[in-house]
Amino acid sequence: MLKEIENRSDVSLLVRSFYAKIRVNELLGPIFNSAIPEDHWESHLEKLTDFWETNLFGIPKFKGNPMQAHRNVDQANNKNIDMAHFGHWIQLWFQTIDEHFTGDLAEKAKRASRKMATGLFMGMKS
């Protein structure tokens, strides 16, 4: 049964379920797994939970520079990250949301991801 996103625990479930898929994904896994050392995944998942908690609930927890992080990853991948990678990322994000959640915040997470993907891609390539 689907539920609404109500709290940090729900956001954590979403983030952890999503990145479990990302890490084994044929297209995206190699990029993420080379950028984030195995022993840093737990802290990275907490940071991403902070990011989405900030975005969905307006709770100012996230500290970081996603644009610079994505530029660094693109540089490490010979600037070969393209819109297809972001499209695949969004597809997996939507799929994960739809497996677990429904409601206004689930839709907000989808809208935010579209906007974020476009902004990050454009910023990486500028």
> The domain that contains 97 carries what CATH number?
1.10.490.10
pTM: 0.94
- Say how far apart CA 29 and CA 89 lie, in whole Å: 10
Q: Is the dihedral of CA 48, 49, 52, 53 positive or negative?
A: negative
Indicate the residue type of 17: S
pLDDT digits (tens, 9 = 90+) for 82-98: 999 999 999 999 999 99
Containing structural domain, residue 101: 8-125
**Cβ–Cβ under 8 Å, residues 104 and 2:** no
Instruction: Say if 35 falls within a structural domain.
Output: yes
15-71 residue pLDDT tens: 999 999 999 999 999 999 999 999 999 999 999 999 999 999 999 999 999 999 999
Total number of domains in the chain:
1
